[in-house]
Amino acid sequence: MPAGSVRCGIGEDRCSLSPRTPASFLRSGDLAFDRLFETVRTFLEQDVMELVVDGQHLSGFRTPDASSIWIRDHSDMLRMGRYFHADATSIVQHFAETQSASGRIFDYVTTSPEKLPCERENWTKYVRVPVEADVEYRFVKAAWLAWQASGDDDWIRQQLPSLEKALRYIMSHPWYWDAELDLVKRAYTIDTWDFAYTAGRHEWLQFQIDAETFWGIMHGDNSGYHEAFRILAKLYTYFGDVERAAYWTVQADGLKVRANKICWNGTFYTHFVKRTPVDIAGVDEAAQLSLSNPMDINRGLTDRAQAVSIIEEYQRRRETTSAFAEWFSIDPPFPDGVFGDEKLVGGAYVNGGIMPLVGGELARAAFEHGFESYGVDILKRYWTLIREHQATYLWYFPDGTPASVEASTSPEAQPTDGWGSSAMLYALVEGLIGLVDEGKGFDSLLLAPRWAAAGIRDVEVQLSYAASGASVGYAYRADNERLRLDVSAQSSSVRLHILLPGDRMAVGATVDGRSVPYRNTQIRTSAYTDIDVPINGEATVTIKLAAGSSGP
């Protein structure tokens, strides 16, 4: 690495890991989960990149296919990386400080030579890829995640003008907003990726907008901005600005309705709804299942029925595909090379490659929407994929061959991909472990353990934000007569949503020995018990079980 940047590995003391923070750990007795938790942590630690720009130390997460910090990669990886990495805010702050007057956010920053051997200069370099419409929502999400981990109200309040300016930029720029449909638009790319179809009019990958750009609506952009609008509404609500909160709530709700009207095809989201007429021989966009579909679920664009439909579509394709997993970047792929690079054959990279990024998002959605055993299955299959060599890649060919420099349009292909592995950890933490921070520093918590789906009855877990030390944890014990949770949380409003084992249902509930109201609920065939309880320090929740009519 050149002066001014460093790729941190395990044990390197320049990584911003906090020695004072209580450890995050999982002890379930199942190595597929316990070792997955620790293995992904090591991947993420190796994917920290530190820069010095204008004398300021910055750090963030990079994917191992590019020696730079992209806000898109960082924002997704931060979801789990913030439990291990103490610097949650510096790179988000830097993207805010380098925001243009129009509101545009750069894609990435680097001080490393990128096109070796011809480029040798360790400049500070900023790039925005014009065909990308997703950058600004990822910036908003990264800021939200950083605030949750740091707990710094003054910091996030200072970012609010930048966050709002970024969203206003998207909503007003003719490259990114379809004024007739009131939806986010983009050039004809493969899902959220950064090169556009040109019908052979450009000599290689096309990253620019020009007079011959083919336009359309891509569902993943709109789910991303739906979530970003909701985030801004939450932040304004937190700071007591009722008017701005209401405005962004209306924007989020309206975008959701319009996106579903235009993009939903009855089973899943059409890959690309064309606004510029164009036909690619052999391609039916409505049949292409693209990578943002599970993300659409997790960002809140779907209702329950739509989420179920998407998950069932992945299950159907798993039964018919010859690929080793159904985590397609897109399926069916485009014809070989039509996006301008001969390496982009069907089954390679974003043109039909198999992505743990997709599998992790799919597993997270499965846990949330009544497919808990499917979520468990995805996590176990991923562990089988990575356990022998302790290596993970951004994408794989359908036969299981991992990405390589030679087969990819990206400059690197290292075995520590944090984008996909962190998505799998996201499913483990928020789906199976069931710990979801709905406020900041776990002060508003969804606690939804789903260990019954894995047949596990004895678990200890703790999560801690490295930036602030805020932590939450529980000990879970279950048998046929009762389920007990010993919860540790710092002054938190907790929504318990507990998957019950076997054919059980709740017939009583106590908190620290006192009877409390509870609700037996059901998601598809899965039985849950819901309890709302404030916890200040520690509490013991006990649920008395009896035979019921349904189970996970």
Instruction: Assess if residue 552 is contained within a domain.
Output: no
| Domain shared by 318 and 403, yes or no | yes
pLDDT band at 456 (very low <50, low <70, confident <90, very high): very high
Instruction: Assess if residue 210 is contained within a domain.
Output: yes
Secondary structure (DSSP) of 188-215: SBSTT-S-B--TT-SSS-B-S--TT--E
Identify the CATH number of the domain in which residue 480 sits.
2.60.40.1180
| Domain shared by 477 and 373, yes or no | no
* CA distance linking residue 206 with residue 198, whole number of Å: 7
* CA distance linking residue 407 with residue 409, whole number of Å: 7
| Domain shared by 477 and 340, yes or no | no
Residue that finishes a domain, picked among 404, 433, 462: 433
| Domain shared by 350 and 464, yes or no | no
Amino acid at 403: A
pTM for this one? 0.95
pLDDT of residue 410: 66
| Domain shared by 419 and 509, yes or no | no
Q: Is the pLDDT of residue 163 over 50?
A: yes
* CA distance linking residue 382 with residue 363, whole number of Å: 11
* CA distance linking residue 209 with residue 104, whole number of Å: 15
Question: Among all chains, which residue has been given the structure tokens 């360790």?
Answer: 122
In the chain, the number of structural domains is 2
| Domain shared by 262 and 153, yes or no | yes
Residue that finishes a domain, picked among 389, 414, 433: 433
| Domain shared by 378 and 468, yes or no | no
Cα-Cα-Cα-Cα dihedral of 226, 232, 238, 240, to 10°?
-120
Question: Among all chains, which residue has been given the structure tokens 């179920």?
Answer: 308
436 vs 23, 112, 221, 266, CA distance in Å?
Answer: 18, 36, 24, 30
Any idea what the Cα angle at residue 342 is, between residues 337 and 344, rounded to 5°?
A: 60
* CA distance linking residue 382 with residue 157, whole number of Å: 39
Mean pLDDT of 452-468: 97
Coil, strand or helix: which one is 396? strand
Identify the CATH number of the domain in which residue 310 sits.
1.50.10.10
Instruction: Assess if residue 260 is contained within a domain.
Output: yes
pLDDT band at 7 (very low <50, low <70, confident <90, very high): very low
Beta pairing class for 482-499 and 444-447:
parallel
Helix (H) or strand (E) segment spanning residue 119: none
Cα Dmax for the chain:
72
pLDDT band at 9 (very low <50, low <70, confident <90, very high): very low
| Domain shared by 419 and 458, yes or no | no
| Domain shared by 390 and 295, yes or no | yes
| Domain shared by 235 and 101, yes or no | yes
pLDDT in tens, 530-540: 999 999 999 99
pLDDT in tens, 389-426: 999 999 999 999 999 878 877 656 789 999 999 999 99
pLDDT band at 113 (very low <50, low <70, confident <90, very high): confident
Give the burial class of 420: count Cβ atoms within 10 A of its Cβ; 0-12 exposed, 13-18 middle, 19 or more buried.
buried
**At a CB cut-off of 8 Å and minimum separation 6, what does 543 contact?**
482, 483, 484, 498, 500, 506, 508, 509, 518, 529, 531
Instruction: Assess if residue 438 is contained within a domain.
Output: no
Residue that finishes a domain, picked among 433, 462, 496: 433
| Domain shared by 390 and 451, yes or no | no
pLDDT of residue 119: 84
| Domain shared by 159 and 275, yes or no | yes
Instruction: Assess if residue 482 is contained within a domain.
Output: yes
> Among 541, 499, 501, 540, which residue's Cα sits nearest to residue 521?
499
pLDDT of residue 15: 37
Mean pLDDT of 260-281: 97
Domain that holds residue 217: 5-433
Q: In the chain, count of helices (H) and strands (E)? A: 12, 23
> Among 362, 432, 421, which residue's Cα sits nearest to residue 394?
421
Strands of the sheet with 48-53, listed across from one edge = 5-7, 48-53, 56-61
pLDDT of residue 411: 59
Question: Among all chains, which residue has been given the structure tokens 């083919």?
Answer: 214
